[in-house]
Amino acid sequence: MDNNLEIARLQQEIGKRLDLSLNHLIFDYAPEGEQMKLALITINPRHDQSFLFHTISAENKLEALRQMVDYVEQNYRQEGSYTVQWSHRGNSELHTSYFRAVDIYEVLDKFGHGRNMNDYTIFSVALNPVA
Protein backbone atom coordinates (compact mmCIF):
# COMPACT_ATOMS: atom_id res chain seq x y z
CA MET A 1 0.00 0.00 0.00
CA ASP A 2 1.13 3.55 -0.72
CA ASN A 3 2.73 5.06 2.42
CA ASN A 4 0.73 8.29 2.14
CA LEU A 5 -2.54 6.37 1.92
CA GLU A 6 -1.57 4.22 4.91
CA ILE A 7 -0.62 7.34 6.90
CA ALA A 8 -4.00 8.91 6.08
CA ARG A 9 -5.84 5.68 6.99
CA LEU A 10 -4.06 5.39 10.35
CA GLN A 11 -4.70 9.05 11.17
CA GLN A 12 -8.39 8.58 10.40
CA GLU A 13 -8.47 5.44 12.53
CA ILE A 14 -6.99 7.33 15.48
CA GLY A 15 -9.57 10.09 15.07
CA LYS A 16 -12.38 7.54 14.90
CA ARG A 17 -11.18 5.72 18.03
CA LEU A 18 -10.95 9.02 19.93
CA ASP A 19 -14.29 10.17 18.50
CA LEU A 20 -12.62 13.32 17.12
CA SER A 21 -12.63 14.68 13.59
CA LEU A 22 -9.28 15.23 11.90
CA ASN A 23 -10.02 18.97 12.22
CA HIS A 24 -9.45 18.56 15.97
CA LEU A 25 -6.21 16.56 15.72
CA ILE A 26 -2.68 17.64 14.89
CA PHE A 27 -0.11 14.98 14.00
CA ASP A 28 3.19 16.73 14.74
CA TYR A 29 6.16 14.75 13.33
CA ALA A 30 9.74 15.69 14.14
CA PRO A 31 13.04 13.86 13.58
CA GLU A 32 14.70 12.91 16.86
CA GLY A 33 18.13 11.46 16.15
CA GLU A 34 17.50 8.36 14.06
CA GLN A 35 13.89 8.17 15.26
CA MET A 36 10.70 9.95 14.24
CA LYS A 37 8.81 11.58 17.09
CA LEU A 38 5.03 11.87 16.80
CA ALA A 39 3.25 14.27 19.14
CA LEU A 40 -0.50 13.88 18.84
CA ILE A 41 -2.22 17.12 19.79
CA THR A 42 -5.95 17.61 20.29
CA ILE A 43 -7.84 20.87 19.77
CA ASN A 44 -10.76 21.59 22.06
CA PRO A 45 -13.50 23.29 20.01
CA ARG A 46 -15.14 24.86 23.10
CA HIS A 47 -12.22 27.09 24.05
CA ASP A 48 -10.06 26.65 20.93
CA GLN A 49 -6.98 25.49 22.84
CA SER A 50 -4.63 22.65 21.88
CA PHE A 51 -3.25 20.08 24.29
CA LEU A 52 -0.76 17.25 23.98
CA PHE A 53 -2.51 13.89 23.88
CA HIS A 54 0.50 11.55 23.71
CA THR A 55 4.02 11.31 22.29
CA ILE A 56 5.67 8.31 20.64
CA SER A 57 9.09 7.77 19.02
CA ALA A 58 9.55 5.14 16.33
CA GLU A 59 11.62 4.29 13.24
CA ASN A 60 9.37 6.27 10.87
CA LYS A 61 5.97 7.97 10.53
CA LEU A 62 4.13 4.75 9.74
CA GLU A 63 5.52 2.90 12.75
CA ALA A 64 4.81 5.89 15.01
CA LEU A 65 1.20 5.94 13.82
CA ARG A 66 0.84 2.19 14.31
CA GLN A 67 2.16 2.54 17.85
CA MET A 68 -0.24 5.45 18.47
CA VAL A 69 -3.17 3.27 17.32
CA ASP A 70 -2.01 0.56 19.75
CA TYR A 71 -1.73 3.13 22.54
CA VAL A 72 -5.25 4.42 21.91
CA GLU A 73 -6.65 0.87 21.74
CA GLN A 74 -4.85 -0.67 24.71
CA ASN A 75 -3.33 1.83 27.13
CA TYR A 76 -5.14 5.14 26.92
CA ARG A 77 -8.28 4.15 28.86
CA GLN A 78 -6.18 2.47 31.56
CA GLU A 79 -4.52 5.74 32.58
CA GLY A 80 -6.00 7.98 35.25
CA SER A 81 -8.58 10.57 34.27
CA TYR A 82 -7.85 14.11 35.47
CA THR A 83 -9.81 17.37 35.48
CA VAL A 84 -7.93 20.66 35.16
CA GLN A 85 -9.60 24.00 35.88
CA TRP A 86 -7.75 26.93 34.39
CA SER A 87 -7.99 30.38 32.86
CA HIS A 88 -5.94 32.49 30.50
CA ARG A 89 -4.37 35.45 32.32
CA GLY A 90 -6.32 38.61 31.66
CA ASN A 91 -9.51 36.63 31.06
CA SER A 92 -11.74 35.75 34.01
CA GLU A 93 -13.49 32.86 32.22
CA LEU A 94 -12.87 29.54 33.97
CA HIS A 95 -12.26 26.57 31.66
CA THR A 96 -12.35 22.86 32.43
CA SER A 97 -10.24 20.38 30.48
CA TYR A 98 -9.86 16.63 30.83
CA PHE A 99 -6.70 14.57 30.46
CA ARG A 100 -5.66 10.94 30.69
CA ALA A 101 -2.22 10.49 32.21
CA VAL A 102 -0.03 8.30 34.38
CA ASP A 103 0.28 10.99 37.06
CA ILE A 104 -0.29 14.67 37.81
CA TYR A 105 3.15 15.61 36.42
CA GLU A 106 2.23 14.18 33.03
CA VAL A 107 -1.05 16.14 33.14
CA LEU A 108 0.89 19.36 33.68
CA ASP A 109 3.30 18.46 30.85
CA LYS A 110 0.37 17.80 28.51
CA PHE A 111 -1.33 21.05 29.51
CA GLY A 112 1.86 23.08 29.12
CA HIS A 113 3.05 21.56 25.83
CA GLY A 114 3.84 24.32 23.35
CA ARG A 115 2.61 27.19 25.49
CA ASN A 116 4.02 29.82 27.82
CA MET A 117 2.70 28.75 31.22
CA ASN A 118 3.08 32.32 32.50
CA ASP A 119 0.00 33.12 30.38
CA TYR A 120 -2.21 30.65 32.28
CA THR A 121 -3.48 30.16 35.79
CA ILE A 122 -4.23 26.61 36.87
CA PHE A 123 -6.72 26.59 39.73
CA SER A 124 -6.96 22.85 40.28
CA VAL A 125 -5.86 19.47 39.01
CA ALA A 126 -7.90 16.55 40.32
CA LEU A 127 -7.78 12.82 39.77
CA ASN A 128 -11.30 11.73 38.87
CA PRO A 129 -12.87 8.77 40.69
CA VAL A 130 -12.76 5.46 38.85
CA ALA A 131 -16.17 4.64 37.43
According to DSSP, the residues that pair with 25 across neighbouring strands are 42
Residue pLDDT, tens place only, 22-50: 999 999 999 999 999 999 999 998 888 99
Say what the alpha-carbon torsion angle 108, 47, 30, 104 is, to the nearest 10 degrees. 10
Of 13-17, 50-54, 87-91, the least confident: 87-91
Sequence ranges of the domains in the chain: 1-78, 80-131
CATH topology of domain 80-131: Ubiquitin-like (UB roll) (3.10.20)
Given a contact cutoff of 8 angstroms between Cβ atoms, the answer to whether 21 and 45 are in contact is no
CATH number of the domain at 1-78, please? 3.30.160
% residues pLDDT > 90 (the chain): 85
pLDDT exceeds cutoff 80 at 127: yes
CA distance 53 to 37: 13
Q: Which residue has the higher pLDDT, 75 or 86?
A: 86
Q: What is the mean pLDDT of the chain?
A: 94
> What is the secondary structure of 82-117 as a DSSP string?
EEEEEEETT----EEEEEEESSHHHHHHHHHTTS-G
What does the pLDDT average to over 59-77? Answer: 93
pLDDT tens figures, 2-19: 899 999 999 999 999 999
